[in-house]
Amino acid sequence: MTCVLQFPGCRRLGPALPAASLHRVTSAATKAGWLLAIPAVLFLLLCFVAPVAQTLWLGFGARTDAGVMTYGFTFENYRRAFATDLYWRILLRTAKMATWAACVAAIVGFPLAWVVARGRPWLSRLVTLTLVTPLLVNVVVRSYGWSAILSRNGLISWTLGGLGIEDPPSILYTEAAVLIASVHVFLPFMVLPLAGAIARIPPSAEQAATIAGAGPVQRFWRIILPLSLPGLAVGLPLVFSLTAAAYVTPQILGGNFSPLLGTLIQQQVLTLHDWPFGAALSTLLVAMVLAVNLVFIGIVGRRLRRWTAVA
C-alpha cells in the first residue's frame, strides 16, 4: 500500500517525512478503514447489488401464459423490445426528454448558479434555499401541484384567459409539462455543482481577459462558460440520469399520451404482471443512461484533464 501525500503548494513535504513510519501509520489506518466500511458494504450488497443482479437475471427469464414467471436464459424479452417499434420510440423519447431537461436546466440554472456563486450573501442563500426546498416535498405531492398549475383550469390558463387570450392551450398531459416539472425538481442538481465551478473561476483570469480587450459578452463565451465546464460535467449527467429514470412525474403530468420508459416499465410490472419483460426494459434504461454518461464523461473528462495535467 503506497501513500502519496499531496499538500497544495508544498509538494516537497511528502518525501521529507520518514518513509518507514509513514508506511506503518498508513497500513494501520487502511486496516481500520476496511473495518469501518464493512457495515456500509454489507448494506449495499444486500439492498443494492443483490436486487440489481436479480433484475438483470430476471430480464433473461420468461413468463408463462398462466402469468407465472420463470428464471431461465432466453433473449426473447430483448428481442421483443428491439423488434417492437413502439418500445424503440419510447426509449428514444425518454433519451430526448432527459437531454432536453438537462439542457434547459443548464440554461435556466446558469444565472441562478451565478447568483449563488457571486451574488450578495443574503441573495445567494435565498436562491439556494428556494432551490433546495422542493426536495423536501414528496414527489407525488409536487407533481400534483404542477398539474394544478398546468391544467386547463389552472393558474397559467387562467392567467392567459384573463389577459384576453381565447381558448388558452392546456399544457397538462404534454411533454412540455413533464419537462417543466422535471427541470424544476432537478434544478438543484445542476445549480449547485455549477455554482461551485463558477466560484472557482480565478478572478485574475477574468480580469486578464477584460484588460486584453474582452467585453462582458466575449468574457462569458470565451472564459466564463468554458471554465464552468467542470460544473456542467457534473450537472448535465445528473439531470439527464434523474429525468430518464423518473417515473412519478411523467406518469402524473404526461398522462398516457406520451409515456416514457419509466411509465412503460410500471405498466409491464404492475399492470401486465410481466416481470421478466419489465426487468429487460429496466436493464435497457440503465444501459442507455450509463452509455450516455460514459460517452459524456469520456469527452469532457479528457478536456478537463488537460487543464490540470502536469505531463
Partner 1 sequence: MDLEVAPGEMLALLGPSGCGKTTTLRMVAGLIEPSAGEVLIGGRSVLGVPAHKRDLGMLFQAYGLFPHLTVARNVAFGLEMRRVPKAEAAQRVAEALKLVRLDGFAERMPAQLSGGQQQRVALARALVYRPRVLLLDEPFGALDRKLREEMQVELRLLVKRLGLTTIMVTHDQEEALTLADRLAVMEHGALMQVGTGAEVYDRPASRFVADFMGVANLLDGRVAATGAVASLEAAKGVHLLATPIAAPPMQGSLGTVAIRPEAIALLPPDAAEEAGTTTLPGTVEQAIFKGQGLDVWVGTPAGRILARLDRAALAAAPAAGAPCLLRYAASRAILLPRETKPA
- Give CA 54 to chain center in angstroms: 24
Our CB check for partner 1 shows the closer of 163 and 309 to be 309
3-state secondary structure of 62: strand
> Measured from the CB atom, is 125 or 303 closer to partner 1?
303
- Is residue 222 part of the contact set for partner 1 (CB under 8 A)? yes
21, 211, 256, 257: which one contacts partner 1 (CB under 8 A)?
Answer: 211
Select from 174, 210, 266, 293 the one that contacts partner 1 (CB under 8 A): 210
Alpha-carbon separation of residue 102 from 114, 165, 235, 252, 271 (angstroms): 17, 31, 8, 20, 30
> Distance (Å, rounded) from C-alpha 34 to C-alpha 164?
67
> Between 80 and 219, whose beta carbon lies closer to partner 1?
219
The yes or no reply on residue 204 touching partner 1 (CB under 8 A) is yes
Contact 274, 77 (CB under 8 A): no
Alpha carbons 181 and 150: distance in angstroms, whole number = 10
Q: How far is it, in rounded angstroms, from Cα 123 to Cα 128?
A: 9
Report the residue from 62, 103, 160, 229 that binds partner 1 according to the rule CB under 8 A.
229
Going along the chain, which residue ranges are E strands?
62-63, 69-70
Q: Show contacts with partner 1 in window 14-53 (CB under 8 A).
A: none
Q: How far apart are CA 103 and CA 117, in angstroms?
A: 20
- Nearest CA to 303 out of 205, 232, 202 is that of 232
Contact segment (CB under 8 A) with partner 1 among 75-83, 190-198, 208-216, 260-268 equals 208-216
- The minimum distance between CB 200 and partner 1, in angstroms, equals 10
Cβ distance to partner 1 smaller for residue 125 or 305? 305
Quick one: which of 13, 41, 46, 208 contacts partner 1 (CB under 8 A)?
A: 208
Q: Which of 75, 82, 221, 307 binds partner 1 (CB under 8 A)?
A: 307
Binding-site member from 167, 213, 256, 271 for partner 1 (CB under 8 A): 213
Instruction: Please name the residue that has the C-alpha cell 409539462.
Output: 177
Residues that bind partner 1 (CB under 8 A): 202, 204-215, 218, 222-223, 226-227, 229, 303, 306-311
